[in-house]
A and B are shown apart, each in its own frame.
Chain A
Amino acid sequence: MISLTLIFCYACFLFFGAGLLVYILFIKIGILPKGFSGLGPDYFLLLGLVSITTILAVYSIFLPIDLYLNLALFSIIYTLIIFHRETVTDIFASYYSAVKEHKNMFLTAFLAFTPLIIATFIFSLSEIQSFDTGLYHAQFIQWMEKHKTVPGLAWIHTRFAFNSHFHLLSALFSFSSLDLKNSSLTPLVFYPLNSFFFLMFAFRSIVKIAQGLRSRSLFIAVQYAALLFCSFALFGSKLQSPIPDSIVCILTLYVFLYFLEKFEYSRSWTPHQLIILLLVLILPTFKLSAGLIVLMILPLMWTKSLKQLVTIGVLAAIITIPYFVRNTIISGYPLYAIPSLDLVDVNWKIPAENALMENDIIKAWARIPYRNYQEVLALPLKEWLPQWWEIYAYDLIKHILEVSLISPLILLLVFLFRRKERFNKIAIIFGVLIVNLVFWFLSAPDPRFAWGFLLIMYALTLASLAKLLTFHRSEYLIGVGIFFFMYKSLWYTSNDWHQLLSKDSLAEIRYYPKQIPRASVKLFDAGTFPLWTPTRDDGRCYNAAVPCSPAPLSKVRMRGKDLDAGFFYDTKMP
């Protein structure tokens, strides 16, 4: 608990500081107007997230993301914050006066939501719940911490080729280079970012729910309540794992919420236009399945001049080119697993048929898991759809999917009965959501790949319904409903509580989060370099020293004398 709180403070400083400095830079180069009014702390944190990820993406091509980088970033941001201390104090003073003005509302809201905040903290400290973290997240993060981007790294584990830039951030915040240890001498590794950004979103939601109920804006209250409780129920118990799905969901929600609440069709840049653009650009580098969210740039481009379109192009290049370069270094392709986009001829390239097979396996798993992928892909829609529904559509997800299916009808009702200024924006959002969900359904329809899209569609539908059904004093009924659903969402995660209730767990998490299990690995030295492989057949290396591969690699060779030189597949080897 203590170490995680300190890390949250550090993350807050780094992201907020970087966001603020980048914002000042945008003012200085004339993109943004002067002034900071109407920008919440989460705005700067998100801007910081985009900026630091971009810096890491470029830096990691040449050097590992280690303690020295942490110190360098900290020093630079610290110095510049001191330099701009008057601006910082003005911003904090404005936050302070806003809280002071509505202190009773803030106090009541945060007291009421205390169980959810405590539950979030406890899940952040608990044992890793995601299978994929043991399979490849922890290993990939470790590679980023200890090595520059390694050519042919995908030969060690093909999942590394997906190259989520969220794992670059996770490497910066893992703090393994601090060499801290727990009581059983296990070196401590932290994965705090999903929890940090979820708490950020939770704070925004709590404030918005309270403001919504107070001002009888039930649309806002219901929308944020649905988003907060459903996201907590879906991935609250996995917050301690560095899974990109959670952060992608949170950022996707921000894109749509900022668009709905703050977006203005203006010729000049506004702060929220900029953050929407940056989030939309960074999201595909976190998870390629969120790629079609770039459609949200279209309304932005509508009013922009040619010069401003060039600015969009430059920002897009700064954010995405390092991603393509890193992808090419890791797998040989700018976008994995899309082998048709083949730009460079390198000896570490994954064969196109392997990449296509990987794509097919993921697609098939998302339709019907634990079955031969070729059989699944050969099934017609009418055969795999009922099985898919049975497997994935349970409990909350079933409810969300059902509501999403009727959402166009609700939208139509809202259009007929309540023509408001928001309708245009909601229609655009629904358009983008439908394109994204159709793409998701036809490619890899595992609900976690589309949490953000499903949740926003669900929340908007519920909020529109609430608006339709508004009657005198209905805010009290909605308020009671919100608290009922908060406890229901907490109860939804009750299956994961058992791990937290043991005395040992509580004693341990007082100081630091529960650690990723130690892998049982053996040395495979029949190849051309020492390689660890798991002793169990689940393929999980956890955080064992790299290189660790799910299976022995007898034909993979090092390209040079050390791991930095990379790997390739030697077809000439017997």
Chain B
Amino acid sequence: MNRNTTPRRPESEPPPKLATRLLAHLLPEEDRAAVLGDFEELWGRDERHPPGLRRLKFWAHVAGVGFGFSWYRLVRLLTSGRRRGSPSPSPSSPILRGSDRGSLMTAWIQDTRIAIRTLRKQPLFTATVVLTLALGIGATTSVFSTADALLFRPLPFPEPDELLYVPLVVPAYGGRSELEVEWSYPKVRLLMESTNVFEGSTTYQAGSRILTGADDPEEVRVESVGSGYFDLLGVEMVVGRAFQPEEDLTGERPFVAILSHDLWIRRYGGDLEVLGRTIRLDGQAHSIVGVARAGFPGLSGSADLWVPVMTQGASLLNNPDNHAHELFVRLRDGVSLTQAQNQLRAFPRLLAEAYPPANPSLPILGIRARPLRELRSDPSTRQAVLFLLGAVGAVLVIACSNLANLLLVRARRRRTEMAVRAALGAGRSRILRQLMTESLLLAAVGGALGTAFAAVWTPLLRITGLRTQEVFRQMDVGLTALGFSEVALDGRVLLFSAGLCLVVAVVFGLTPAFNASRTDLACGLKGGPRGGRWRRRIRLRGRSLVVTCQVALALALLTCSGLLLGSLTSLVRSDVGIRSENVLTARISLPQARYDSEGAKTFWAELLERVSTLPGIRSSGVNYCPPLSDRCTGTFIWFPDRPAPPDGIRPMPEFHMVAGDYFGTLGIPLQQGRLLGPEDREGMPLAVVVGESAANAFWPGESPLGKVITLQRAGLGDATVVGVVGDVSYGSIEAGPRPAIYASRNQVPSRTGYLALKGVRGRSSSSLLPALRAVLAELDAKLPLTDVRSMSERLADATSPTRFTAIVLSLFAGAGLTLSIMGLFGVLALMAGERMHEFGMRRVLGAGQRDLVGLILKHSGRMIGFGLALGASLSWVSTRLLENLLFGLRPHDPRAMLGAAALLSLSALLASLLPALRAAKVDPLVAVQQD
């Protein structure tokens, strides 16, 4: 050793150990030391790079060199065999004799080489097996990657089990079920002062603001959070810092903000100089102090940036009745959930003393602590994902059993080959190993191809999932969106996929391999049928049983997909209460800083007036929320002419603030009285129009016209009902319409609104957009137009979760049907082949062609019959699991199962006919001569 050369600096980081070890394994012995040395030398050169980049580069080079050498060796291995000029191994070679010469590695390489050669000689068989496996494994892998990210994997935060979601609880009373509600900031403070089981806490409230700067104005999703938010969740900053505790106090200016990685890249091009730059949110200046790590969309699942909660202003923040903040806490080390829950038990009383409820008859608020992981996926997503996982598993089982049958048949055909090998001295284990190598190789190639398929499908699943979440944005789906954003083919998923390949190879390869390795020399060499009649029967029974199970699984899959397709049809056909043709909708949100309520009133009136003069527009109107958005607000109402309800519960209908010709634009019919018009302006008595459901619910059996209701909404007071309109579903199609009250924006101003424009017939709604943008820019160039979608798109989006599940499940069911029919066909063809001799004898003894067809169809009928019976019970169980995903159909709707059974029987009959007709055409003489 030369010790005089420059010593390595002690603080210098060594190259990644795992990568080095991996590289050492992949390199050939003769190059190992030299290449590893070169890698270490080059690692030393990269010292100035950031550590993460340096390691990434090292790994990339390891992967490249490892792959290069493996590929080179594989090619050499394959071509060297060919060069020696023997297309198949000669009987005298050690490969056939299974000699123990050479290491296990050499034997394995030999096995692989033979397997590759054998499989290449049967391209059709190999392609069938590999494709079947690739589809099965690909589909399973991508569904698993989704399930893993949404349900199985720990949440992507450090020590996720210590994180709790703590809501306030309104107990069940007066027929209303229990409700979890948000906190007001003073109540959060009271909780944190009175407990010591939490290490940290943070609140968050999601909303949207208008971001202005050098670029176009843009509506961004903002989370107003407590300063502990990022520390609590362990989310690092790429640049800059997280919020500091003093930024949690009110009144401090200038305000600060943290960008999401997405926004940083999208709007600022990933500029490192972004720190300290000032942006305006709703006109207020904020200075950027940090950028959060990539892939963190906030607890709401869609945050573009974060601001400290104090930007809301002291009056809102210090109002104990402003229940608007979600609360998350982290348990102190060593404190269990139960201990925390015990300590929280005293809190409701404390809370009631500090902030007594306005009405003494109301129950006092409770508190609850739930592990954050319970919120990670909303129940319907969880159910759909689990269901798809089960369905894809069923398809995989069907595919594997088909492959097992296929390999069994192939093993039978290779009896002679195996007998020759055995005769030349190959032990049973050697033959078994050879056959297993073939299965493993098939599984590996199929798995690799399947993973490639999954690499294409998985991003599609992620995008569809995120889109679905986007449409149904609710408080408790934030983590689901977070989960969907984490869907990827990572190490865990690849490990799952590799394990799956191994299991599949063993399952479909072992039985045929055992069968074939039990060589019977005399029979095998003679090439005749092996085993006695009873043994053949057992084999056939076994295969028939496999087909029966396949038919059962296929029936269950078809029934479920039939049900989902049925509910999709009912969803699409259901009446939302509007006419969506040619209607464009878009959201406009006026910043509080520049628009007071008077300004908002003028803005909407002017906007509608200018829009109505545009060519191609038939009518226009504004509402607070569009149909099927689930973004509406409500208000408590009571009836001044009736006594107060004994339990103190007041109804809370939806409350819509409309302007212009809203009802006409969306085709909502007037049923009684009049619509809201220009006469309903400030200074006049407040007039409201109610929906049909509200009319029926609040004034059953009488006309609501002229009735007076009191609205709890600040400062509104009494209102007179002047009209009744048709019902509209503002939530989801499934939930249907709710009681609704409409008031004019002239009397109840609002800064947020969805503009609805109806184009003249024959003009697509999207063609109205440029003109609308121009009008908006004239009025206020700093206002963005967001959530621009035609009403028809909104309708389509509302059915997208069901459509997605239905389509994916139908694909699986189609695959299951095809595969099980292929299995049935294979078994029948095999049976007909094996019984050719018997059929010949029967013909000789006087049986007609029709009798033989009947014989095969009977056999097929028995398999299908048992399969359908088994499948019916399986469907009964599995459709129950679908219950919550269905709309307008019961889980045990007989039409679905009958339709599925009919489809399956018909396809099975067609598949049985070909082998049956072939058997019937058997020439008795030839068949008998075979003996």
Q: Does A associate with B in a complex?
A: no
Instruction: Show the binding face of A for B, using Cβ within 8 Å.
Output: none
Residues of B with Cβ closer than 8 Å to A? none
